[in-house]
Amino acid sequence: MSALDATGEELSVREALRTALREELAQDGDVFLMGQDEEDGGSFEVTAGLYEEFGRDRVRDTPISETAQVGSGVGAAATGLRPVVNVSYSDFIAICFEPLMNQAAKMQYMFAGATTMPLTVRAIEGAGFNAAAQHSGTVHTLVSHLPGLKAVAPATPRGSKGLMKACVRSDDPVVFFEHKNIYEQTGPVPEDEDFTIPIGEAAVLREGADVTVVATQQLVAEALSVAEERTDVDVEVIDPQSLSPLDTATIAESVEKTGRLIVADESPLSYGFHAEVVTRVVENEFYSLDVPVQRVGVPDTPVPFSPPLEDEILPTAEEIDLAVDRIV
């Protein structure tokens, strides 16, 4: 079924994630959750009620040590379990890079496939809560750069459920980036307990003929609002859903049709996701581009604590709209 034809029960992103985790816990006894305050639902109550339903063997608190959490997850995954580790604020994934980059990402390669690594790491990122620099960053580019790891960042309830179930069932390590500002967004979600979205599959959320906007996380809703309000330009909106692997074919096919590309992502503009998408389009569809591509993102700065300054740097629908003006 196409994302354009999505049907099912109306859930928020938070409820969709909780439903996916509940279904996977019920279906597979090797799945378990761990993280700070996980028995109480975690920092944003995504796992609320699961401890009461499944008990401490399946849902457990950990000490405040992201390195120990991910390291324990790597060990558990190597022995055949399917841990889902919540590191809460993604900024602190920086101190997990030894177990994440050197162990989880490389173990299957170094052991010639003798072991699998069915590890899912939940990392909550993004600004908009005035939570200061160490709790507001968008760091998915860092993880997407590491060979051996997969990275996903859904923008819709449907994508959140389908991708979470796919990650838990995957035999490869995946970092699941959740934007804290879209937990309350609602939408239709298939009720099928075996519904998954393949890792590496983008969703065309709105078809258009004039401009392609590749947007991530909360900027997907901003891009869709621009597309609905513009009557002079027909805007196509693509949610990549997976950052690594990236569905280059769907993006290239869209640019071949529209000839114009905007990439909107909340991470810093330099050396990141924007550059990767643009490079792949240039490699595959250079002669389809009618005008230079446009990027919408965060300036190369930590996220300010000051609410007015945070508002100043965050990308918005207005910036996407201005980018459309520049290329039509």
Tell me the catalytic residues: 135
Four-residue CA torsion sign, 157, 159, 164, 169: positive
User: How far, in Å, CA of 158 to CA of 3, rounded?
Assistant: 8
User: How far, in Å, CA of 140 to CA of 213, rounded?
Assistant: 19
Helix (H) or strand (E) holding 115: none
* Sheet strands (E) in 17-118: 31-35, 59-61, 82-89
Q: How many helices (H) and strands (E) does the chain have?
A: 12, 14
Query: What is the rounded end-to-end Cα distance, in angstroms, of the chain?
Result: 32
User: How far, in Å, CA of 28 to CA of 5, rounded?
Assistant: 30
User: How is residue 14 written in tokens?
Assistant: 């938070």
Cis geometry, peptide bond prior to residue 157 (ω within 30 degrees of 0): no
Please, how many CA atoms are within 13 Å of residue 250, restricted to the half-sphere of its CB?
Answer: 21
For residues 31, 137, 306, 324, the Cα torsion angle rounded to the nearest 10 degrees is -120
User: How far, in Å, CA of 290 to CA of 257, rounded?
Assistant: 11
User: How far, in Å, CA of 52 to CA of 273, rounded?
Assistant: 39
Q: Work out whether strand 211-215 and strand 242-244 pair parallel, antiparallel, or are unpaired.
A: unpaired
Q: At what angle do helices 157-169 and 13-27 cross, to 10 degrees?
A: 30
